Chains A and B, each alone.
Chain A
Amino acid sequence: MIRCIAIDDEPLALKQMAGYIEKTPFLELQKGFENALEAISWLQDHETDLMFVDINMPGLSGMDFVKSLNQPPKVIFTTAYSEYALEGFRVDAVDYLLKPIGYPDFLKAAEKARERLGMRKVESSQVESDDNHLFIKSEYKILRINLADILYIEGMREYVRIHIENQKAVMALMSMKKLEGFLPKARFMRVHRSYIVSLGKVNTIERNRIVFDKVYIPISDQYKEAFQEFLDKNFLV
């Protein structure tokens, strides 16, 4: 695991960054800081591998903060202002993320940091299943997931995120295709390159999208026919 801290003076930005770190399988959030001074004193008796640092902070800027460290850990800078980009690379930053930051860009930067840290690529997760469960074994943990609780599965670069009812989503390194092979075909259906849905959880369809609470899942042309067949059998209209 890569140990991380995040520094941003704006609480919402910090919360988002912390959320991104927590949902990334190979990152571990040690602490978030609302200013660089607190981070400096924390670093005096803690070690970290990677820091996500906002550049534009009042008082001590992110750039000055990194320059002030003797042996700085790897750094990924974040900023809302592109004019800082060049300076960011001058202090040998791993990457530089322009806000607002989407998760795919965050993940790409985190993977770059992992390479720079000389950590081997995270091994693909193992997957097994029985009639009612999915077992996911990664480097760090083994998980048992009730098939009945799965809402949908989202593909994201080489990862999958399994969204579970009333629980935090689970992320694992494996392909959608591989995971699909372990799911009973009668209960799960691929509706898009990046989505598999649990048919028993499909309750609302709106203009060709499946609605899960606040998430809209698109149905792509390739899968439209199969999904329509399911609708014809299961929805009385």
Chain B
Amino acid sequence: MVSILIIGFDTGLVLSVKWAQSEQNRIRMEKESVENQLAFLRNQVSPHFFMNTLNNIHSLIDFDTTEAKDSVIRLSRLMRHLLYDSEADQIPLQKELEFVQNYVDLMKLRFSNKVNIQLEIPGHIPDKTIPPLLFTSFLENAFKHGIHIQGASFVSIAFAFVDEQLVFAMKNSNPHLQKEEEQTGIGIENSRKRLDLLYGNQYSLEINDGKEEFLLTLTLPL
């Protein structure tokens, strides 16, 4: 009887140790997958952006050396942000907005004056921190899907700070380029996942994919 009890206890112990191990594994894998996902989501500036920017700078060297030099500085600041600064979980809001400014300025090199690009950042930026690269995929989307092949287009981006909240409002022309339609959804879906992980139900993301215009408003607590 005693021996049965001992065997039973022993088996139970082995089983519970096994269970604890597998539970630990499960938690570890879940954590890894979240981390992988975050790493993937951070890595949102496409390689194409870099190749195109380098090509435009190469061309500018012949036509406008001052602009070429300024662009190299913008690109190096942008890369520093992506490679080093954005490793942190939280970074100063000021830095993130400088990154957006550099990104938009470099994007401008790619388009003729048929594309009207506006970026508004308030003069006074709250002394707060923010998870890095929250806006990048939205910006990439706007420039990828918001430009008409022929004719006038626009991308307007504005930041505002109201009652301890950050409001990111983006508006762009909506030419509905056929082939790439599906990808728009994926980029925004990924961003939504990341925002869910970071903010739970504390944020709001409103999208209006209209006939003429694409509107997006993201509100975050600071």
Contact = CB atoms under 8 A, between A and B. Distances in A.
A100 B112 contact: no
Contacts of B62: 16, 19
A214 B65 contact: yes
Contacts of B195: none
Interface string A3-38: 000000111110110010000000000000011011
Contacts of A9: 149
A56 B46 CA distance: 14
B30 to A, nearest CB: 34
Interface in B102-160: 109-112, 147, 149-150
Given A34-B112, A59-B177, A81-B51, A12 B150 contact: no
B100 interface: no
B48 A80 contact: yes
B54 interface: yes
Most buried by A among B55, B62, B111: B55
Interface in B185-209: none
Nearest to A9: B149
A100 B59 contact: yes
Contacts, number: 55
A185 interface: no
A12 B59 contact: yes
Nearest to B109: A12
Given A35-B149, A38-B150, A13 B55 contact: yes
- Chain B: interface residue count, which band? 20 to 34
A35 B111 CA distance: 12
B219 to A, nearest CB: 31
B174 to A, nearest CB: 13
A59 to B, nearest CB: 4
Given A38-B150, A100-B54, A81 B59 contact: no
A38 B63 CA distance: 25
A34 B149 CA distance: 9
A118 interface: no
Contacts of A13: 55-56, 59
B25 interface: no
B58 A100 contact: yes
Nearest to B144: A58
A21 to B, nearest CB: 14
B149 A58 contact: yes
Contacts of A11: 111-112
Interface string B36-62: 000000000000100110111011101
B154 to A, nearest CB: 16
B55 A80 contact: yes
Given A12-B109, A34-B112, A80-B48, A100 B55 contact: yes
A101 B63 CA distance: 15
B192 to A, nearest CB: 25
A108 interface: no
A12 B60 contact: yes
A16 B112 contact: no
A81 B58 contact: no
Given A12-B56, A19-B62, A59-B177, A35 B109 contact: no
A214 B180 CA distance: 43
A9 B148 CA distance: 11
A121 to B, nearest CB: 28
Contacts of A80: 48, 51-52, 54-55
A157 interface: no
Contacts of B54: 80, 100
A80 B111 CA distance: 16
A33 B149 CA distance: 12
A99 interface: yes
5 contacts: A12-B63, A13-B56, A38-B150, A80-B48, A99-B58
A-B pairs with the 9 shortest C-beta distances?
A100-B58, A59-B149, A80-B51, A16-B59, A99-B55, A12-B59, A11-B112, A12-B56, A100-B55
